[in-house]
Chain A
C-alpha cells in the first residue's frame, strides 16, 4: 500500500499516526504549532486550518475547518495550509512576508494575546479566497463588509481579548487576491482526489472505502464500526469522552453520498455533503434550509458537518431535524439488502435511538416538492452565533386565504427526540389564523413534548419558547393575513 501522505504548506509529509490522532495533534507533532487547541470540541476555532476541497470537478475551494476534530488520516492524499504556510514573520534569514490577511490583522490590532490568531487568520483566508466574494454593490447585506466579506465566516472563532472590532475591520478591509497569489491560482485546478486509506494501529483501524459497495460490505461484517464524515461529533467524543472506536469508516468522499438532485417532485441531498456544500448547491431553493444554515453551529463546523451525521447521531437537539420534520423529509437508508425510505417523523425512536439498522447507512435526505410557501425557523439559544439550541421550532404552512390549509411543525430540544407538534398542527388545521386562534394554538404548542431543566434553559422557559414561537409565527404573518382578509 502507498505511504500515507499529506501536503502541508506545499510540502509533502509522511503521515504515520493512528486513527485517534487528530489533524491538530499531528500538525503540532510535526512542529507546526501555529494551530492551537482551545477547546477540543470545535467551538473556539483556535485550531482552524485551510484544506483543499473539491469545488466542482475541476476546481478547488480553500475551506477552513477545525483541525481538532477530524483524524489526521482523513487527510491522506490531501492538502492543508496552516497559518505558518500563509506568510512569514521577519527573521534572521528572511524578510517579513505577510499574507494580506495577516497584514490586516497585524496592523489593525487584530491580535492581543495571539493564541486565537492563527485560527482567525485561516478562517479569514478561506473567506478571502471564496470565489463568490464580490464587493457589495450599493446595499450591503447584514453581516457583510463592503468587500463582500461574510462575517459568518468567523462565527466559529472565539477571541477573549479584542472584543472583535479590530478583527472585523481587518476582514472588511481585505481586497481581492493578487493574480500571482499561489493559493488563488490553486483554486483553478482539481482538488486532490479521494484516496483509499487503510491504517491499523494497536487494535484500532481507519478505513476510507473507495466505493459504497465496499463500505456496505465492511459494515455488514462489522456493524459496530463508527461511520465518520466531518467528525464534528465523533471528534468531540474522542477528545472529551475518550471514545476510541475499534473501526472507523470514513464516508465523506463517497460519490453516492454526495449527490444534490433537484428533481420535479423532490430535492435529494446527499448525506455526506458538508452543510456548506448543501447551502451553496441549493442556492436558496429551499428557503427554510436557507434560514437554518447560518444558525447551524458555525461556518467552521458547517464546512465539515453533514446532514447524515446530524441525523445519524439521533440527537434531540440537532438543528436540522426540526426543519426537516417541517419539510416532511424522508431518509433513504441503504444496506446490502437494498434501499428503503423512512419518513423522518418515524425515524427517531428514543433518546439517541433511531430506526436505522446497524448495517444501514443514511445515503440521502429527500425533501418533497412543492414546498409549503410559508416557513419559519426559530432557534432559541444564549448566543446568536455558534450555540446549541435550547429550543428549535420550524414551521411549514400552506394557507387558503387566511385559513391554515396545512401545517407541519418540527420541534427540537423539548423531548428525548425531535418531534412533530401534532396536537398543535391539528389545532391549527382548517382554522383561520387570527390573534385568538394563534393564542389558542400557542397554548397547545406550549404543552407539547417533555421539556427539561438543564444548564441551557429551564423547562419553564422551554415551554414558554414554544408558546412564543407560535405567537411570533402569527405576528410575522399577520400583516399579509390582514391584507387577505
Chain B
C-alpha cells in the first residue's frame, strides 16, 4: 500500500474542477432542506414564542388562546417532552426553558397548518414573566464575576521574569466584537416518522450524528431509531455545528406527537436573535520586547463572552489560547482564559473557532507597539516568526516553520511591496483628505480538533456491477467543496474518471458516529476514510485483474477507468473488471476508517501536540481611508497560502478568497449591537436583520485580489499530500485591519501608536483619524497613551 500522501499517475486530485453541484446551483435545482416541504403531504409549520426579556422566570404559560386560532394544530411545551428536556449535551440548554436566559429565547413552539397560522398562534400564546436582573456586556459580567466552564492557562517559562527583563514594555486592553454567521440559508429542519416507524429528520446541520443524538435523547429513543440526513447546506461556517440540534428536536417532537411532517425554518430575524455567533472577547495584556523588537514575554487574560450557556465555548477558548502566538515565538508566556456568562445568545463555533480571536490579540499588540518601537510593523512581524526547532507555548514543535519566511519573501516579490510602499507614501504626501495604508500579516493555524477523539472518520463506498461508484462519508457539504474533493479522492483511489463517482447525501444510517464537519478537517478526515475504503476495493479488484491479465496483483494499475499491468499491452476497462469480479464473488463495497495519527492533548495542563500540522499563509492589503467620513476602500490584496498539494485548486482558491472577505467583514463592517440600556428592550439584538447587520457586498471586495497557492508543499501523512483550507485564510484579513490602521495613522504624525476598535466601522475609523489629526495638532508624541504605555522605548 502506498503512503497517504502519495499520488498515482494522472490523478483526479489536483485538477481544477468546478463545484460538484455547480450546474444544479446555477439552475436553481440544487435542493436545500426547505425546498423539500412541497414534497411532503400535510406538512405542519412550527413557529416559536420568543420571550421579550433578557432574563426572567416564566411564571405562567397559557396555550389555550393559541389553540383557538384557526389552523393551529398544537402547542409544544416542556410537558410534551418524553425524554430529556435539553437541546445540548451539557444539561445547560433546556429545550423548553422555565428560566428565560436571553431576549428572544423560545419558551414554546406552535404548530400550524400554515406558517401564517402558526405565527398567529404564537402571538396568541400568553406568557407571564417575572423579570430578573441581567448581564449584557463583558464588563458587567466581569464585574459580577459571572463565569462558566473551565479557566484554562497556557504557560511556558516565567512571564513575570520575562517582562521584568524586557527593555520595552507595553500594556493595554482590547475588547472586540463577535460575528453573525449570516449563512444565506437559515436554520431548517424537516421531520417525519417514516413507514418503518423511524424518526427521519432532514436538517441543515454540520453535525448529523450529534443532531441524531440530541433528537434521540429528547424523544427518549435510541440513536438507532433516529436518522438524520443533510442534503447540503446554504452555508454553515460553524453556525450549524451545535445550533441545529434543538431545532431538529422540536420538529421531531412535533412529528412524533402529531403523526405529520413538521417543518421548522427560522426566518432571518429568528435566526439572528436565537442562534449563537462568534464569541466577542476582551483581552488585557502586558508585553515585553528587546531592543531589536523581539518578543520576550506576554502575559494576558482573555475573557470570552459565552452567552447564556456553554455550548462550544470551552473548546473555542482553548483554540483562542493556542493561537495567541500566531506565527511568533514568545519565550515566556502566561495566558489565562475564562468564559463570561451573559444574557445573550449562546455563542458558538464560527470559522476559526477562537483562533481568529486569539490571533487578533497578538496582531493588535504588534500593530499598536510597532510605532513605539520604531520598527515598521511588517518587519517587526517578520523578525518574530517562529524558526525551525522552536515550539509553541503549549509544547508543539512548529514543523515547517521555515515556510513562514519563505511565504513572506515570495509575497513581498509577487505583490511588489517595496515599490508600492513608496507609492503609498507619495500618495499620502499629496492627498490631504484621503490616505492609503499597506500592511502585511502572517497566518499560522493548527489543524485537527483539539479534542483528540473527534479526529476520526468513516466512509462507505459501493461499486456497482456497471462500474459506477457511490460514495457515502460522514462529512457534510456546506459549499466548501468537500463533496467535490471527495469525488476527486475516490476517482483517484479507484483510478476511474470523475464522472464514474457520485456522492450520496450525508446520512447517519450510512456512516455512524461521525464528527462534525468542522475544524477545516472535512477533507483530511473523510478523504482519508474514503481513500481507505476505495483501496480495499481496489486491492480486491487487483486480485481479479491479475488473474485476468496473467500478472501479479502488485503489477496492476488503475488509471482513468482502464486497468493495465506493468509490462503488458493487455488491458480491460474498469467496468469489465467489476463485472468479472462480481461473478467471482468479490466484495464490491467497503467501509473505510481514518484516524489522525500522532496527536495528543492534555486539556488540564493545556500541553501536548494537538495539531497534525500547521497551515501557513500571508497577505498584503492596501486600503484607502476617506478623512471626511472614515469610510474605506479595499484597493488590492495579494495572498500566498499553503494548502499542501491542493486536492482541488479552484475549490481551494474559492475557500481562500471567501474566508478572506468574511474575515474582513468581521474586522470592519459587521457589528452586533445589543440594547444594553436599562430600558424595556434591554438585551434585544438591535442588529437583527440584513438591513441593520451588514456583511460584505461587492463594494467590499478588494478591487484587485491575487491568490497564489504555495508550491512544492506536500504534507506527508495527509490524504494525497494536501492541507486543510476552510478556516486558516479567514485570518489573512488582519492585513486589511492593519492597513486601515496605517492609513488612519497617516493623518497624523509618523511613529505614533494608534488604537483601532474592532470592528473598524467607518465611524470607528473616523474617530481614529480624528485622534491622529489631533496628535498632529499637538505635534508631539504623548508621554503615555492608553494604546501602549511605554515603560521603555
Which residues of A pack against B, CB within 8 Å?
Answer: 20, 28-29, 31-41, 43-44, 46, 82-84, 86-90, 96, 98, 101-103, 105-107, 109-118, 121, 151, 154-155, 157-166, 168, 236, 239-240, 242, 378, 380-388, 390, 454-458, 461, 464-465, 468-469, 471-472, 475
Contact = CB atoms under 8 A, between A and B. Distances in A.
A87 B25 CA distance: 11
Contact of B699 (A38, A155, A390): A155
Contacts of A29: 38
A44 B761 CA distance: 20
A84 B699 contact: no
Given A161-B235, A161-B654, A382-B669, 5 more contacts: A34-B27, A40-B268, A113-B184, A239-B267, A384-B699
A386 B697 contact: yes
Given A44-B690, A109-B651, A164-B698, A114 B657 contact: no
Contacts of A161: 235, 479, 654, 658
Contacts of A84: 27-29
Contacts of A86: 27
Contacts of A110: 26
B158 interface: no
Contacts of B696: 163-164, 383
Contacts of B692: 455-456
B185 A113 contact: yes
Interface in B469-528: 478-481
A461 B766 contact: yes
B27 A98 contact: yes
B629 A114 contact: no
A380 B628 CA distance: 10
Which of A89, A115, A461 is packed against the most chain B CB atoms within 10 Å? Answer: A115
Interface string B87-120: 0000000000000000000000000000010010
Interface stretch (B15-23, B130-138, B244-252, B782-790): B15-23
17 contacts: A28-B35, A38-B184, A41-B690, A83-B26, A87-B26, A88-B27, A90-B23, A102-B27, A105-B25, A106-B18, A113-B236, A114-B22, A162-B658, A163-B701, A164-B701, A166-B654, A475-B433
A22 B620 CA distance: 45
Given A36-B185, A383-B697, A113 B267 contact: no
B708 to A, nearest CB: 14
A113 B183 contact: yes
Which of B119, B236, B269, B692 is packed against the most chain A CB atoms within 10 Å? Answer: B692
Contact of B24 (A35, A114, A158): A114
A160 B26 contact: no
Interface in B696-739: 696-701, 705
B672 to A, nearest CB: 9
A115 B653 contact: no
Interface in B164-190: 181-186
Closest 9 CB pairs of A and B: A34-B28, A113-B479, A115-B234, A114-B25, A83-B28, A163-B661, A43-B690, A384-B699, A112-B479
A262 B453 CA distance: 73
Given A41-B689, A163-B660, A240-B269, A168 B654 contact: no
Is chain A's interface secondary structure helix, strand, loop, or mixed overall?
A: loop
A57 B658 CA distance: 44
B68 interface: no
B232 interface: yes
B694 interface: yes
B475 to A, nearest CB: 14
Contacts of A236: 691
A458 B661 CA distance: 26
A122 to B, nearest CB: 9
Interface residues of B, number: 79
Contacts of B662: 160, 163
A113 B235 contact: yes
A381 B766 CA distance: 12
A113 B770 CA distance: 41
A302 to B, nearest CB: 15
Contact of A117 (B26, B269, B658, B687): B26
A106 B26 contact: yes
A407 B72 CA distance: 60
B25 A117 contact: yes
Given A114-B19, A384-B631, A464-B766, A89 B701 contact: no
Contact of A41 (B119, B433, B686, B691): B691
B650 interface: yes
A89 B654 contact: no
Nearest to B31: A33
Given A114-B479, A160-B184, A109 B690 contact: no
A35 B28 contact: yes
Contacts of A41: 268, 689-691
B57 interface: no
A251 B651 CA distance: 47
Contact of A96 (B23, B631, B658): B23
Nearest to B657: A163
A158 B695 CA distance: 8
Contact of A87 (B18, B27, B123): B27
B762 interface: yes
A153 to B, nearest CB: 10
A116 B433 CA distance: 37
Given A102-B27, A461-B763, A385 B184 contact: no
A382 B761 contact: yes
Which of B183, B480, B699 is packed against the most chain A CB atoms within 10 Å? Answer: B699
A393 to B, nearest CB: 11
A384 B766 CA distance: 15
A33 B701 contact: no
A105 B26 contact: yes
Given A114-B234, A158-B184, A383 B26 contact: no
Nearest to B763: A461
B409 interface: no
B479 A385 contact: no
B233 interface: yes
Contact of A154 (B19, B478, B694, B698): B698
B156 interface: no
Contacts of A381: 762
Contacts of B766: 461, 464
Contacts of A46: 184
B628 A155 contact: no
Given A38-B690, A385-B697, A114 B232 contact: yes
Contacts of B478: 113
Which of B21, B26, B699 is packed against the most chain A CB atoms within 10 Å? Answer: B26
Contact of B30 (A109, A114, A464): A114
A271 to B, nearest CB: 24
Contacts of B184: 36, 38, 44, 46, 113, 115-116, 158-160
A109 B19 contact: yes
B147 interface: no
B595 interface: no
A88 B701 CA distance: 30
B385 interface: no
Interface in B643-673: 650-651, 653-654, 657-662, 669, 671, 673
Nearest to B269: A240
A385 B695 CA distance: 11
Contacts of A168: 698, 701
B237 interface: yes
Which of A37, A84, A155 is packed against the most chain B CB atoms within 10 Å? Answer: A37
B32 interface: yes
Given A160-B183, A160-B184, A468-B628, A382 B694 contact: yes
B482 to A, nearest CB: 11
A103 B22 CA distance: 9
A103 B123 CA distance: 46
A381 B658 CA distance: 23
Nearest to B27: A89
A112 B116 CA distance: 32
A39 B268 contact: yes
